[in-house]
Each structure stands twice: as C-alpha cells, then as structure tokens.
Amino acid sequence: MFPLTLTLWAIISLSFTFCSGWGLDPEVLLAQESPQAQSFSPAVSLASLSHSEFAKLAHPFFPNHSVRIKKSQFCDETVNTYTGYIDIEARHIFFYFFESRNNPATDDVIFWTNGGPGCSSSLGLFMELGPCRVSGSNSTVFHPESWNTNANVFFVDQPIGVGFSYADYGEFVGTTEDAAKDIAVFISLFFENFSEFKGRPFHMSGESYGGRYLPLFASAVYDQNARLIAAGLTPINLQSVMIGNGMTDSFKMILSYYDMACTPASVKPVVNIGPCVAMKATVSRCEKWMKTSCEEKYDAINCGAAVNFCRSTYSIPFRATGLNVYDISKPCEGGPSDLCYPQTRVIRDYLDNPSVRATIGVDSHLTKNFTSCSADVGRAFGATQDVLHPTADYVASLLERGVRVLIYVGTYDWICNHVGNERWTMALDWSGKNEFSSTALRDWIVGGKSAGKTRSAKGFTFATITGAGHMVPYDKPKESLELIQRWISGKDL
C-alpha cells in the first residue's frame, strides 16, 4: 500500500545494486537435522497464552530465530487476537494475528504484507481488509467484510524498520531477498509451535510493492519445505499467492503510465494534449532503452538513467493534475504525510495512543510517533535498486510447481495499474502461456452485476475490480471479500 510516491522514485534513481541469495543457508539448516529437531514439541498452545506477558517460542531447527506472542483482545471482540515479535537476534519484526470468524480450527491461513518498501501492514489492517476500522485515537468499529470472515489472517510489519519493527542497533534490510529469509523462517516457526495450524492451506498476499516481495517470499517458503521434510518437520502447505495492484515488473508499469494518463484505459484522458503528444513520442525509445540496459543485460548506471528519464517523462505531467496517484478518479487529499488519504492520520493517532500500544504489546522503549511508511527503509531499498529487478520469473516458477497465483487490480489505480499488470501477465513465459494469453477477458459477477474482468489458465488468474483504486479492499470491500473467498476455496471467479 502507498508505496511509490514516497519511495519508488528514490529507489529507481540510484545507480548501484547488489543482491544476496534469498534462500536460507543450507549448511545452517542441514546442521539442524537432528533427532532433537525431529522430536521437538511445542510448549504452549494459542489458548494458553497470556494477555499480560509474552510467551517465547523457539525451535532447534532455527537457532537464530524466536517468536514472542501474547493475546491482545482488541479490534475484533468476536475472535481471538494475538500480537508479538519475530526476534532474529538483534532484529525484531512486529505482527498481528486474527483468528477466523468462521472456524479457526479448520479455516485457511492468510499472510498479508503492505508495500512501500517501508509501509506498515497496519494500514492494510485498519484501513482495508482487517476486522476493524479505526474511528478515533482510542476507538475502532467492526468491519463486516474483513478477510478473517473465513480465514485466519496475519498482518506483518516487514522488513526491519517498518511500523513497530526495529533493530537494536538501527540497521535496515535493503533487499527483498534478505527480507524473504526472515519471513520464511517466521512462517515455519509459527506452524511448528502451534500444531493446530500444521498442514493448513496457506496463502501469501499483499499489495503494491508486494508485487516484488511476494514472489520471492513464497519461493523461499516453497524451497525451504524440502529442508523441513529432510529434517522430519512438517512442510508449509503453500497453496497460493495473491497480489493486489502489484509492482511486479516496473519496466512495463512505467510504460503504462502513458496509457493511464492519455488514453481512456480507465477514465477519460486526464493530461492535456500537448504533454500527451510529448509522452507518446518517448514510449518506443523508453521501451527499447529499458529493455537493453535493464532486462537483456542489467547495467545499474544505464538502467537507472533510463528509468529516471522515462518515469519523469510520464509522472511529472500526471502529478501536475493534482489527482490521486492511487485513484485516478479523484484529487489527492490531505497533507504530504497523509498519502492522499486523511484516514491514515487517524490510524497514526490510534497507534500513538499509549494504551493501545500497551494492549498490543509494542516494546516499551519505542516512544517515537508511529510512521505509516519509513523513509529510512525506502532509502535502504533505493540504495540497492531493489525495484529494478522484476519478479515475474518467480511467479512462473511457482506456477510450474503447482502454486496458484492471483493478480487482482483496481481499475482506478495509476501507480500500479491494470494496464501494466495485464501486460506482464500476458508476456509471462511459462508452460501455460499460450492458454492464458489466448483466453479472452470475461466478466466476473458479484450480486448479479459485473465486478470486473478476468482471465485464468492452469492456476494463474488476472482480475480487475471496476471502480477500485490502489487499495481494492478499501474501495470495494464486498467485491474484495467475494474475490478472496472464491479464490481460497478454489472456485472460479
């Protein structure tokens, strides 16, 4: 959520890069394949957790990781709620966990992350798909279309430095590959300690920069499974990945900004004719420049230059309109820190309330005002040009291994729009490409009316949500819930 006005343009303007391997160190993991790991049994159950103190969970297979978790009854009084930290030595990742309103003992589990890079998943929780909406600095209201209607849902503030997540010595994660390591271990650690969820269908979801995060996160979970099995542990039942308005291929997305601003791809053209003519004249040049310097052979300096020129050419005329980059149908509202949505200010006030922090167990030394999106994390990812590494090939690899993938997009979003997302899904090189790309778009129906367009083949689905912006669950909560419920149940849209 809300990623790219704050951080993408800083990320893609820097001119050096490095990437570390996202897989967990095989030597470390194999060293843990022991009778001790195989005979481990959890010391606590969710039902036994305290409201006042954290329980600390560990596992010999993951010697550098542990979890602190407590009951934190807030937001949704109809279900059990838990909060805590994933502790990775001197680094600490905050999370929320809400049980299903339906049947937590049998319902699927969903992981959710917001984007940025650097934006807190509390925005997704309190503004989009969570079980409550914040109404004041000390109050919430019940949200009937929450995704925990039929699923157990995690919201994770990741990577380090986002929301209430922090490092003891102030360091930040700067690549999605590094962030994936911690997420994969946390997921296994949770399922190993709370056996009631072992083997449960698991879905990884998020939006915006989640288009970069999730394909790598899910791949790390999938590849880790082989090592878990070898150690006598239960693999994660990874069923699907769900990406909303994602930045999966930044090069195709940048080119799509012309379509969104100067053609009726969503609404009537919003930029004047003169600038649109100038923009159109650069489309072919930008496509070739980014292809040769970024895709065919990655050159950090030339790729950075190409992206800087092209995104400026397309973004400056659009921004001059004053429209909301997350919803092209309306003006941007609020101050610079409100991300075009004054509601984010209310969420910040709520999470700055000392009683709320005490209830959810925020570490007491964290006294700074809550920040929706961390500029420091954005700069750390910018220094590595993280966004300039498309993750479409990870999506293809997951599909080839039987992991279903849903790409859903609100039609009014500009920053991670449906045009760019449809282009990369149609171009994706995988065994189902011909069937997917030859399938015509059709309506998908909610309440007897079209909710958008969709196409599917062999576990891969692209869907638009008509009239929604960047935050589909915020703009179209009924359609969003219907979409997710059909997806996790395996039904056709």
Query: Angle at Cα 24 formed by Cα 109 and Cα 120, nearest 5°?
Result: 50
Residue 457, CA distances (Å) to 34, 388, 397, 427, 438 in order: 42, 28, 15, 14, 10
Q: Is 470 designated active site?
A: yes
Structure tokens at 160: 């380090």
Q: Provide the 10 A C-beta neighbour count for residue 464.
A: 23
Catalytic residue among 59, 65, 92, 470: 470
Radius of gyration of the chain (CA): 22
> Which residues fall within 8 angstroms of residue 163, CB to CB, at 6 or more apart?
94, 120, 121, 122, 157, 370, 371, 374
Q: Is 413 designated active site?
A: yes
Handedness of CA 411, 123, 92, 57 (dihedral sign): negative
Q: Which pairing describes strands 166-167 and 91-98: parallel, antiparallel, or unpaired?
A: antiparallel
Catalytic residue among 208, 256, 315, 372: 208
- Beta-ladder partners of 69: 55, 84
Q: Rounded CA gap, 93 and 166, in Å?
A: 7
> Which residues fall within 8 angstroms of residue 366, CB to CB, at 6 or more apart?
164, 166, 357
Q: Rounded CA gap, 463 and 410, in Å?
A: 9
Q: At what angle do helices 273-290 and 250-262 cross, to 10 degrees?
A: 160
Structure tokens at 362: 């925020």
The H-assigned helical ranges of 113-200 are: 122-124, 176-193
Q: Is 92 designated active site?
A: no
Question: Exposed/middle/buried for 480, CB within 10 Å: 0-12, 13-18, 19+?
Answer: buried
Distance, CA of 446 to chain centre: 25
- Residue (of 164, 150, 77) closest to 108 by Cα position: 150
Catalytic residue among 108, 182, 413, 475: 413
3 state SS of 65: strand
> Which residues fall within 8 angstroms of residue 296, CB to CB, at 6 or more apart?
none
Plot region of 291 (φ>0 → left; ψ -120 to 50 → alpha; else → beta): alpha
List active site positions: 208, 413, 470
